[in-house]
Each structure stands twice: as C-alpha cells, then as structure tokens.
Amino acid sequence: MENTIYTYLTNYLPQSEIDKLKIEMDKPLKYKGLLINSKKISPSSMLEEFSSLEEDSTNLNFYTYLKDVDFPGRDILHTAGAYYILDRSSMLISKYLEPKARELVLDMCAAPGGKTISYALKNPGALIIANDFSLKRAAELSGNVERLGLPNVIVTNFEPSYFLKDFCGYFDKIILDAPCSGTGMFRKESKMKDDWSIEKMNKLLPLQDNLLDVAYKLLAKGGTLSYSTCSFMKEEDEDRVETFLSKYNDINLVKLPIEEGYFEGTLKGTIHIFPYLYRGEGHFLAQLTKSGNIPALETIEKPSDFDEDLNLYTFMYKSEKCALPFVLESVINLHALRMGLKITNTTKYAKCPFDHALSHYLSASKSIELTQEDAAKYLAGQELVCKENLPDGFYPVSFKKVNLGYVNKKCERLKNCYPKGLRIN
C-alpha cells in the first residue's frame, strides 16, 4: 500500500522529492509542538518547565520539543490551559490570516481545535464559530476551548450546510480543513496508512467539492477562505482548488509566499509541507478571497451590557449569563455546545454559582495558590485543607499562577468544585 502511494505521487512530484519524502516518513516522529497561551503563562516560564523547548521564529508563541525528552501533555499546566499541543503545520492558517477587529469567522470542520485556538489567540477581537459534524469531536473541541479560556469561540455541532439557512454571505473568514485521505499524517498515525487506498481517496473528492461550495455561499464579499488538507495528493489539493476557481469567477487565489521549508504546489501560490523540509507533518494550504467589500456586522450589544472586568459584553443564553467580544442576534440564536464564556451555573446540582469556564478567564492574582501535590489532588476531585486565613466563600485556585477551577471554602476546608467529567487521577 505504501509503495502504491509513492508510485502515485510520481504523477506530479519529481522522483528526487519522493525519495526524500519516503526516507523521512519512514523515520520515527522526533518533534512535537505546542502553542503557548500567553494570557496565562509567559514564554520564559515555559522554558523553565521543559528542557527541550525550541522557539519557532516564524510563529509567535509556538515551540517545538523532543517528544522523547519532554511530556507536556501529562503536566498540570496543560490541564490548566497554559498551552495547547498541536503540530507545527497546523499553525499555517492562522499565520496567513490577517486579524480584523470585530470579524465573524467560521471554522467548518474544527475539531480538535488547533486552527480555531491558534486564530482565537491571535485575534481576541474576532468571534469564531468552531463547528464539527461529529458530536464526540465537537465535545472534545469544546473542552479544549474551555481549558484555554477563550471567550471569543462558540462551539457548534452541525452539518456545515446547516449554516446556509441564516448565514449566506455572512462570514468575514472561513477556515476549511477538509476531511481527506490523511497521507500527510501517516508517520504520526500509522493506522491511516494501513487504511489508505486510491478508491477511498476518490470517494472523498465530491465531499471536498461540496464543502467548498458551501463555504463559497457562506463567505461574505471581500472575505477570505483558507482551504487545507493533511494530504500530499494533488487530487485533494490543487485539483480541488482549481475546480473551485473554475466554478466561481469572483473567487481569487492569494499567492502565499514560499518561505524556507515550503514546497510550492503545482498551482502557483499554494503551499505543500513535506516533513523532510519542515519540522511538521504533511499539509497543504490555499488561501482564496471573494471579490467585493465586506459588509458591516449589525451588533445588538448595549453599553450597559459591557463588563469592564471581563472586557466583554454579557447576555443571557438558555437561562445562563454568558459573554462574548461582541453580540450578534443571529449567532446567539444558534443551538451551541459552548456560547463564548459561560459565567453562571444555575443547574440544580451545581456546586458553585460560577461556571467552571469563568475560572480560566480570571486573573490568578486573587486565587488560592496550590502546591503541586495539592493541585494534583484538586484535579482528582479531592477536598483540600485551606492554609490561608480567608472568609468563607467561593475562590479560584491556581498552580504556578495559572487558574485550575473553583473551591468553596468552609471553615478550614476547601470543598472541590472541579467538574466530575474533567477529573484526572
């Protein structure tokens, strides 16, 4: 099967490049990457935590590390949302999308969330609808957004065509990381290699075309569309973009710069990432724009709704108080798994009147700082002893100045309010 893939690539790649790619793909994965959440932790503090971190000069707050030396995914700071683990190639989209104040963004196939998270951190003034058709994957996405403390992300679980009902010509930016055959991920996920076939790849092509058609209808005039796959295959990459361009005469290809480590696609201005050239897994990226001028968004927030401490607008959503950078009526009418920042929790069995998500957004300066031992106990759901002279009530707790969640202080005890579904033994 593997030889079939490389033979197939000779249709559009020089044999010299295929030979280099094959050698690299047969090597074990050496590096992984992480994006620092600079709202929670400084790069200097992160460098003290993990010895093999290496700064990426081309991506702000992004670092690679040796996967056999450091294990940040097992660390308390990961649970606290101080950083997000993702492949370096996944940073490409946010790198080339230019931030714009008060823009509405749709990530059509967002889970597990790397592209949404990287752009949400880059542009906190944007409002991002992060959607995934799979409920299980959308739930994972929602958890990652909550852990990072991102108040500018709404998580939904729809078939992408659902948005055609109310959002045609509405989005300033659309991110489409399309379902694909995954040839670029074979080194990372060997099961995908065993499952690959030309027939399975060909079955995905109509789906990719359909998603691009939906994206066209949802994209505002003057808007930007990023199309990407984790595939090396021209049929899923350049061919889909060329087909898309042939359908719509108001769509224009942006010629992305071919920087060191990139391989220019057969369609000039598109980018392929090959692991022998770049410290990341296989990826393809094309950026396109729709002719015209972006219409202004009609917001409905009032000055009285602005919370100066949160620097967000608050509103009621399904009997709970939530907050966003700005409020659109069409957006808050969506059925969402996560509607920006949820502030209150009024459910019958709530242990705390504040939602757990709020703790990730607050400054740790007023939190009860825990030792590593107590932080581990807290994440396991255990009750703690209060070592500070404080009035009874609800408090955030933190580890290394990064908030973990809430406790309810009663006398000398700290009653644990960490959600059961998140607890770690």
Catalytic positions = 230
CA pair distance 237, 274, nearest whole angstrom: 14
Cβ burial, residue 421 (10 Å; 0-12/13-18/19+): exposed
HSE, side-chain direction, 13 A CA sphere, residue 325: 19
Instruction: Output helix, strand, coil percentages for the chain, rounded to the nearest 5.
Output: 30, 25, 40
Angle subtended at Cα 264 by Cα 259 and Cα 266, rounded to the nearest 5 degrees: 165
DSSP structure string for 192-261: HHHH--HHHHHHHHHHHHHHHHHHHHHEEEEEEEEEEES---TTTTHHHHHHHHHH-TTEEEE-----TT
Note if the bond before 28 is cis, omega within 30 degrees.
Answer: no
Task: For CA atoms 353, 357, 363, 364, give the dihedral sign.
Answer: positive
Residues in the chain: 425
Q: Maximum Cα–Cα distance for the chain, whole Å? A: 73
Least Cα distance to 152 among 192, 203, 101 occurs for 101
What is the Cα–Cα distance from 356 to 425, expressed in whole angstroms? 19
CA–CA gap between residue 206 and residue 406 (Å, rounded): 48
Element (H, E) at 404: strand 402-410
